Structure 1
Amino acid sequence: MRNPHLDKVKGLLIFLVVLGHGLERFIGWINPNSALLAFIYSFHMPAFIFVSGLLFKNHKLFEKILFFAVLAVLFQILYFCFESFWQHTQNWLHWVIKPYWILWYLWGMVAWSLITPLLMKTHYPLLIAIFASLGIGLSPFNNYLFSIGRIFVFLPFFVAGALYGKSFLHCIQNTKYSLWITAASIIISITLLALLRPNPYWLYGSLSYQQLQVEAVHGVLTRLWLLIIASCGIIASLTYASKLPDILRSMGENTLAIYLLHGFFIIILTKLITFTSMNWMLNLAFCLFISILLCVILKARFLSRSIQYTAMHITQFLLKLMQYFYTRFL
């Protein structure tokens, strides 16, 4: 049975994902746009990952992991072909070792689904996840490869969602102080962001401290600061969701298609449209309009079901193939 409150949360977050990508591609990290982008990027994916952790179940774990891997490979190929159409030349190796733009989340789901059950067997799963999040930046290798940086940087949010998501959701759904909690969380988040003023690359979670050109202690403290900011954003988005418009509920029920398909439209529009106006509000209004339009179109249930149907059939085929080879040769 679906939770309307949770669907609204997912609807809000998927809209922020589309809006964030639109703002970044159309306008970029320029003032005053950078402040809005920084706020969105500080929590929208951590919150999305927290909700993913909340919905995580161990049941049929290998099948779920394979399903996300199939989706990732399938859309990696589709985006490769799509980009090749526009740019004509592409580096295959680059696409093998680096998940394309928005697809890192799918590989994250594969990794988090593998790691979280192991962490659950320990006494301090969330603490270990936080140490991993802070520690991955100390590694000497390129954290962007295979999205290894993002996987570990955002791991605490998935683990926190799996551990405490349901109880937290129950508490906020029954509180009388949702508006006050939301306001306080947003104020704290914005204040901490204003004090930190992070380089946008920090918000991606994809680079090591060495790549970000900071000392280890500086890197650990900055990343810890960002974990706190993201946590405030998660509290705000989950607490206030019930008061949001009902259209977000239908968007939240069909996030898969919106997430996987909006990138194609963003790419097309950025190739066809060049902003000449210096009016920031006009540019923002355009991005808002495009984001709303894409979400309304792509929330069509048949799109998500078609993607799920295709990926699930490939997954079932691979499972049968594995079973055949296992019984035949082992």
Structure 2
Amino acid sequence: MPSLTSLTPGPASPGAASPAAPRAGRDPYFDNAKYLAIVLVAMGHAWEPLPGSGRLVETLYTFVYTFHMPVFIMIAGYFSRSFDLRPERVWKLVTSLVVPYAVFEIAYTLFERLTGTPDFPLSPLTPYWLLWFLPALFLWRLTTPIWQTVRWPLALSLVVAAMGAVTSNIGGDLQLQRVLQFLPFYVLGLQLRPAHFDLVRSRAVRIASVPVCLIALAAAYWAVPRSTTSWFFRRYGAEELGSPAWTGAPVTLLLFGCAVVLSACFLAWVPSRRLWMTALGAGTLYGYLLHGFVIKGAIRLDLFEADIVSTPLGRVAVSLAAAAVVTLLCSPPVRRVFRYVVEPRLDWAKKRNPDPAAS
């Protein structure tokens, strides 16, 4: 969810690990897409602790989790197309992903210890809940030159993802299962061009997306009592989810196809012009990293146990509250306050190269 600020359509974004931009300046379309996607992320996280959420909420949860992270990852890949291993690019990668990961891993550990789990371990190799995305994006970007070199990068990445889903002994370090299983979306983003986004924004795709989404919702409603949403987390191998190991490969392909189709449907309806949400889209990293404190804090305060939350109106209120909170956390005032930990400028720690040509 990437660094979310590094999913930027312009080179002027601070903290962007790759300044590649297919068009001059910031494109409001991508900022709008990031904002709408982070709202879905926050709403999904707010639905998780709902007691007895019911089949309708589970349906929406399944539908949203099919594509909301794939959208982010594809956009991350799209704006990483020119990433290489030059020192200045690697340094930006460290300051925009590694440093925020370390800071927030410590912050969330302290939060857990202060709110009821005093022995909560600090384990840098085991990302806390939503922090898995930062090391994942770091590793994906480091492999960019490979995917830009091989002949069939998307097919190869799907093989890697399928192997990850078939294998259950990878271990939990840096949540490598997710790194492997979400990899094809990043590689797909590397292959995308401006014309592909123009295509999904066409009138024909926009019209077709309506029945496609309705069918997807109906399929999700049917699947809720018959399957587990854990497949969508890409955190486990097939055997860990109670299925034969070989099913990991076809499920990987099925989920990839569904995610790409629904991502296209989502992107088809993203506004292309500059709106009130456009500026918020530049701060999605802040909303992503900070909204976890709000969700976990509400759980600690037993707010999800209130009687009204179990009603349809209460569930709507929770959804709207999650959208409002993450919107606030993406706003410029919040970004100004937390900029030094989310997008640190660490020029003092960078080795100065006396020979500019060496870069």
Report the equivalent of 2:26.
Answer: 2
Query: Shift of residue 54 of structure 1?
Result: 1.4
- The alpha-carbon distance between structure 1 residues 24 and 228, as it changes in their structure 2 partners (threshold 3 A), is same
1:286 counterpart (303, 310, 317)? 317
- The alpha-carbon distance between structure 1 residues 154 and 103, as it changes in their structure 2 partners (threshold 3 A), is same
Query: Shift of residue 307 of structure 1?
Result: 4.1
- Asked whether the equivalents of residues 13 and 48 of structure 1 are also in contact (C-alpha less than 8 Å), the reply is yes
Residue 327 of structure 2 corresponds to residue 300 of structure 1: no
Residue 88 of structure 2 corresponds to residue 89 of structure 1: no
Query: Shift of residue 114 of structure 1?
Result: 1.0
User: Hey, what's the Cα distance between the residues in 2 that align with 1:310 and 1:159?
Assistant: 29
1:223 counterpart (252, 275, 289)? 252
Counting aligned pairs with the same residue, the percent is 23
Query: Shift of residue 154 of structure 1?
Result: 0.8
Residue 87 of structure 2 corresponds to residue 58 of structure 1: no
- Asked whether the equivalents of residues 53 and 159 of structure 1 are also in contact (C-alpha less than 8 Å), the reply is yes
User: Hey, what's the Cα distance between the residues in 2 that align with 1:18 and 1:190?
Assistant: 20
Amino acid of the structure 2 residue aligned with 1:131: V
SS of aligned partner of 1:26: coil
2:306 counterpart (275, 289, 311)? 275
- Asked whether the equivalents of residues 140 and 186 of structure 2 are also in contact (C-alpha less than 8 Å), the reply is yes
Residue 260 of structure 2 corresponds to residue 238 of structure 1: no
Residue 78 of structure 2 corresponds to residue 47 of structure 1: no
User: Hey, what's the Cα distance between the residues in 1 that align with 2:183 and 2:297?
Assistant: 32
User: Hey, what's the Cα distance between the residues in 2 that align with 1:181 and 1:188?
Assistant: 11
Report the equivalent of 1:130.
Answer: 158
- The alpha-carbon distance between structure 1 residues 39 and 144, as it changes in their structure 2 partners (threshold 3 A), is farther
Query: Shift of residue 178 of structure 1?
Result: 4.2
Report the equivalent of 1:78.
Answer: 107
Q: How large is the Cα RMSD of the aligned pairs?
A: 2.6
Report the equivalent of 2:208.
Answer: 181
SS of aligned partner of 2:26: coil
Report the equivalent of 1:141.
Answer: 169
Q: Name whichever of 22-31 and 247-256 sits farther off.
A: 22-31
Report the equivalent of 2:277.
Answer: 248
Residue 181 of structure 2 corresponds to residue 153 of structure 1: yes
Query: Shift of residue 166 of structure 1?
Result: 3.0
State the Cα deviation string for residues 210-231 of structure 1 (Å, max 9, x = none): 2112112222212221111111
Report the equivalent of 2:48.
Answer: 24
- Asked whether the equivalents of residues 11 and 255 of structure 1 are also in contact (C-alpha less than 8 Å), the reply is yes
- The alpha-carbon distance between structure 1 residues 46 and 227, as it changes in their structure 2 partners (threshold 3 A), is same
Report the equivalent of 1:328.
Answer: none
Amino acid of the structure 2 residue aligned with 1:291: A
User: Hey, what's the Cα distance between the residues in 2 that align with 1:29 and 1:124?
Assistant: 42
SS of aligned partner of 2:307: coil
TM-score if structure 2 supplies the norm length? 0.81
TM-score if structure 1 supplies the norm length? 0.88
Equivalent pairs, count: 321
- Asked whether the equivalents of residues 280 and 327 of structure 2 are also in contact (C-alpha less than 8 Å), the reply is yes
- Asked whether the equivalents of residues 181 and 239 of structure 1 are also in contact (C-alpha less than 8 Å), the reply is no
User: Hey, what's the Cα distance between the residues in 1 that align with 2:241 and 2:53?
Assistant: 17
Structure 2: which 5+ residue stretches go unaligned?
1-24, 355-359
Report the equivalent of 1:98.
Answer: 126
- Asked whether the equivalents of residues 77 and 189 of structure 2 are also in contact (C-alpha less than 8 Å), the reply is yes
- Asked whether the equivalents of residues 32 and 278 of structure 2 are also in contact (C-alpha less than 8 Å), the reply is yes
Amino acid of the structure 2 residue aligned with 1:15: V
- The alpha-carbon distance between structure 1 residues 186 and 315, as it changes in their structure 2 partners (threshold 3 A), is farther
State the Cα deviation string for residues 61-87 of structure 1 (Å, max 9, x = none): 312321201111110001111111012
State the Cα deviation string for residues 272-301 of structure 1 (Å, max 9, x = none): 212324754223212122113202321222
- The alpha-carbon distance between structure 1 residues 90 and 166, as it changes in their structure 2 partners (threshold 3 A), is farther
- The alpha-carbon distance between structure 1 residues 301 and 184, as it changes in their structure 2 partners (threshold 3 A), is same
SS of aligned partner of 2:169: coil
Report the equivalent of 2:234.
Answer: 205
Amino acid of the structure 2 residue aligned with 1:119: W
State the Cα deviation string for residues 163-209 of structure 1 (Å, max 9, x = none): 11533113234x22243132144245335545654312111100112
User: Hey, what's the Cα distance between the residues in 2 that align with 1:144 and 1:120?
Assistant: 28
